[in-house]
Amino acid sequence: MNSPTSLGRALELIKQLKSKFYFRRGSEPVALEHSVGRELSETVFAHATSPEFDIAAMDGFTVRSEDGYPLRISGSVYAGDKMIQMKEGEAVAIATGALLPHGADAVLRMEDARVKREILYGKSLKKWENVFRSGSDYKAGDRIFEKNHRIMPQSAALLYSLGIGSVPVYKKIRAGIISTGTEIHNGMIKNTNAVLIQGFMKELGCESTFTGTVPDDYERTKKMLLQACEKYDVVFTTGGVSVGERDYVADIIAETGELVFHRVAIRPGKPIAVGVINGTPVFALPGKPTGAFAALEMVVRSYFTEIPRAARGFVINEDVAVQEKGFSYILFVKLAQNTAKTMGYEGSDMKLFEKEYETAIISASPRSTIVDGYVITDRDIYKGETVNVHLFS
């Protein structure tokens, strides 16, 4: 049997897969308020200049930078007022956001100003100091967003300032989900993985459809998988990807399409298989719930987003011994008082094992993933050591 693919290599292959297939979807216009989380299908350019005029970046007094103090304060101007004229030897009280008067080229901050009987004293200023220049934000013709940009709330605000009310975006990815296994098909075991994948897709702004279950039968599994690959942008399967006598999915992918990789050096999540059938990416996940979750998080997520999880250092509460070198182990942790408590050990919500981190046991426990984040390690960790926790929120 071939050695499992390293996590780094698997992520490289996922990136190559994404470059071929991810943006093949059609485009559609959506209202600006519904665009957040979607990806632009066109490059966006500015058709105007912002700000249109020079404006004050601080509360204070407008001056001519070449004038010396004292200066006579001739008036005041606020945001929303029309532009006024200022003469040599004068200063104008100004509020943040107000249009800079004609003749002014700097703003003296309020905290740097001294006023005596409408006469201003202060420090010397450089030209355009504390001024937000016309066109500083963008000018007509500037490239604002590249095609494929994922729209964030601040992106939507900028699109609004550009006067864009209808946004060209890619259609949502449509995912089909198949659950394999006679025990699932007969209802002997709850189909938690289908719910997991649907939630995963929703969180990433995609649509998903559960297409059904299939028992451990090669031809029936093959038929359902081929049908799904004709209908959806991506297809997920769960179960049937290990090395058992009835684990057919990887063989079906290899027979009907291209098997990109099978088995990744992560625990839990090792049995994942990824391939392409009739131009449709297929993500075949392990049947054990936590193994499926780990495969989704560590490998598949990178197909849908390149935004990494935020990470922070915490002290681990327990010695953790890995089972075998050469694997990346995912330790699910809860956080309390700057401490990371590893699920499965004494002191966490569930005691499943002693010192050695037994992935076969943690893989079967859906509850073990109800945590604040996870640690990735390829070596033993010792109590009191600082570990890098990838955070779910």
Mean pLDDT of 206-219: 96
CATH of the domain spanning 32-47+139-169, picked from 3.40.50.300, 1.10.490.10, 3.90.105.10, 2.40.10.120: 3.90.105.10
Instruction: Look up residue 47 and give its DSSP letter.
Output: S
Residue 244 reports pLDDT greater than 90: no
pTM, two decimal places = 0.87
pLDDT grade for 1, boundaries at 50, 70 and 90: low
pLDDT digits (tens, 9 = 90+) for 190-208: 999 999 999 999 999 999 9
CATH number for the segment(s) 55-132? 2.170.190.11
Are the CB atoms for 69 and 120 separated by under 8 Å? Answer: yes
Q: Say what the pLDDT of residue 349 is.
A: 82
pLDDT, mean of residues 221-237? 97
Q: How many helices (H) and strands (E) does the chain have?
A: 9, 24
The pLDDT value recorded for residue 155 is: 97
**Does the pLDDT of residue 43 top 70, yes or no?**
yes
How far apart CA 363 and CA 368 sit, in angstroms, is: 8
Please give the full DSSP string across 269-303, using - where no structure is assigned. -TT-EEEEETTEEEEEE-SSHHHHHHHIIIIIHHH
| 164 pLDDT more than 90 | yes
User: CATH top-level class for 311-391?
Assistant: mainly beta
Q: In the prediction, which pLDDT does 353 show?
A: 85
Percent of the chain residues past pLDDT 70, beyond the cut:
100
pLDDT of residue 392: 94
> With bands split at pLDDT 50, 70 and 90, how would you rate the model's confidence at 393?
confident
pLDDT at position 75 is 95
Mean of the per-residue pLDDT values for the chain? 95
What secondary structure letter does DSSP report for 140?
Answer: T
User: What tokens does 186 get?
Assistant: 């007969």
* pLDDT of 2 higher than 80: no
Strand partners, 373: 333, 391
Strand 90-94 relative to strand 60-63, pairing: antiparallel
**What are the tens digits of pLDDT across the range 96-136?**
999 999 999 999 999 999 999 999 999 999 999 999 999 99
Query: How far is residue 357's CA from residue 387's CA, in Å, rounded to a whole number?
Result: 16
CA distance 280 to 283: 10
Q: Is the dihedral of CA 91, 93, 96, 100 positive or negative?
A: negative
C-alpha to C-alpha distance for 96 and 216, rounded to whole angstroms: 69
Architecture of domain 7-25+172-304: 3-Layer(aba) Sandwich (3.40)
Mean pLDDT of 170-194: 95
Residue 137's pLDDT band, with cuts at 50, 70 and 90, is very high
- Looking up tokens 């997520």 gives 301
pLDDT of residue 87: 94
Token digits of residue 214: 């299939």
Domain boundaries, the chain: 7-25+172-304, 32-47+139-169, 55-132, 311-391
Measured CA to CA, the distance from residue 17 to residue 217 in angstroms comes to: 28
At residue 232, the pLDDT reads 98
- From residue 393, give the alpha-carbon distance in Å to each of 116, 151, 297, 308, 310: 54, 19, 14, 12, 8
Residues in the chain: 393
pLDDT of residue 288: 93
pLDDT digits (tens, 9 = 90+) for 331-356: 999 999 999 999 998 878 888 888 89
Q: Measured between alpha carbons, how far is 55 from 51 in angstroms, rounded to an integer?
A: 8
Q: Which helix (H) or strand (E) holds 94?
A: strand 90-94
Q: Is the pLDDT of residue 216 over 90?
A: yes
